[in-house]
A and B are shown apart, each in its own frame.
Chain A
Amino acid sequence: MERRAYKQALYAVQNEHAALDIVQDAMIKLAEKYGSKPAAELPLLFQRILQNTIRDYYRRQKVKNARFTLFSSLAPKNDSEEYDPLESLQDNENPSAPAGPDESLQQRQVIALIEHALTKLPARQREAFLLRYWEGLDQAETASAMGCTEGSVKTHCSRATHALAETLKRRGVKLP
């Protein structure tokens, strides 16, 4: 559970330490406030708390720095060049050598591409996509966790899926 939560937070805030803090805060809130709830209710409650904690982080960052951008840590050094996450993956042991075990490397590259594309999605689209398709919540549960209508969830999910598919298509990636 905490690994997925960490990844969700990381996609949202793009900062490893902040993501760890968010997950820890969310788990502590869940344990302190809802520890006595039935186990079946905990995953949805945790998702609600996690999303709220991420939103709180956004708010605090806004106050701290008006110029804060979500993708600062992934932004290219040179603005004129487009950032390519595939280029950031290299064999540290032997940088000049050709890629090692192809399947594993290719998978890592595809994952890096998907994760990068996720960070580029608008926050609400990413949130809806992850809750609905990754966490496996149904439409009503996703709407409840996000604090919006089911119609909005549908729209966000559809746009997110199209955007991700478009990115993968542009890169010539075909998922099995």
Chain B
Amino acid sequence: MSTNINSPDDKSPDVAPEHIAQMLTRATQQLDDDTVAALHRARNRALARQAVSRSVFALDTGHNMHWPMPHTSRQWMAAAILLAALAGGVSYWHHNTREHEVSHLDIAILTDDLPMEIFIDR
């Protein structure tokens, strides 16, 4: 965004808009002390809210309840990596357990030592 005052798109009669803008800028220097102080307080209040909302890794539902939801793209990425790692871990554990069960069964068949529950229809 440019900070320069842009030239008008079409001819104005006598007054250039940038001159009016300059006068308006001067007007902001003439605000009374109470208003300036109130604006300063408002700014600080907003900055305090920003600090709070940044520190909370949560989604405010508007009912004073916070659900663990990511806010920023970084948080989303961290959550995605965490979920992927979790899914990978579960899958690996499941695979290992199954392999272990099958190997037990193989040994039982080979040694003719099948347990009773193998004949029970589960």
Report the count of interface residues on B (CB-CB < 8 A): 43
A51 within 8 A of B: no
Number of A-B residue pairs, CB cutoff 8 Å, is 134
Those of B1-45 within 8 Å (CB) of chain A? 1-6, 8-10, 12-21, 23-28, 30-31, 35-36, 38-40, 42-43, 45
Known pairs A23-B42, A35-B54; A158 contacts B9 (CB<8 A): yes
Give bound CA distance, A35 to B72, whole Å: 10
Contacts from A to B (Cβ < 8 Å)? 2-4, 6-7, 16, 20, 23-24, 27-28, 30-32, 35-36, 40, 43-44, 107-108, 110-111, 114-115, 118, 129-130, 132-134, 136-139, 141, 154, 157-158, 161-162, 164-166, 168-169, 174-176
A138 lies within 8 A of B6 (CB): yes
Which residue of chain B has its CB nearest to the CB of A111?
B27
A132 lies within 8 A of B50 (CB): no
Q: Which residues of B contact A24 (CB under 8 A)?
A: 42, 45-46
A175 lies within 8 A of B39 (CB): no
In the complex, given contacts A31-B50, A137-B1, A164-B20, what are 18 additional A-B residue pairs having Cβ atoms less than 8 angstroms apart? A2-B40, A6-B31, A27-B42, A27-B45, A31-B47, A111-B30, A115-B27, A133-B8, A134-B21, A154-B10, A161-B8, A161-B17, A164-B15, A165-B12, A165-B15, A166-B13, A168-B14, A169-B14
Give bound CA distance, A2 to B35, whole Å: 11
B49 within 8 A of A: yes
Q: Which residues of A contact B17 (CB under 8 A)?
A: 129, 132-133, 157, 161, 164
Give bound CA distance, A165 to B20, whole Å: 9
Contacts from B to A (Cβ < 8 Å)? 1-6, 8-10, 12-21, 23-28, 30-31, 35-36, 38-40, 42-43, 45-47, 49-50, 53-54, 71-72
Give bound CA distance, A31 to B52, whole Å: 10
A134 lies within 8 A of B26 (CB): no
Give bound CA distance, A111 to B23, whole Å: 6
Q: Which residues of A contact B36 (CB under 8 A)?
A: 3
Q: Which residues of B contact A6 (CB under 8 A)?
A: 28, 31, 35, 39
Give bound CA distance, A129 to B19, whole Å: 12
> Which of A28, A107, A132, A162 contacts B6 (CB under 8 A)?
A132
Most chain A CB neighbours (cut-off 10 Å) among B18, B20, B72 = B20
Q: Which residues of A contact B5 (CB under 8 A)?
A: 133-134, 136
Most chain B CB neighbours (cut-off 10 Å) among A35, A43, A108, A157 = A35
B23 lies within 8 A of A175 (CB): yes
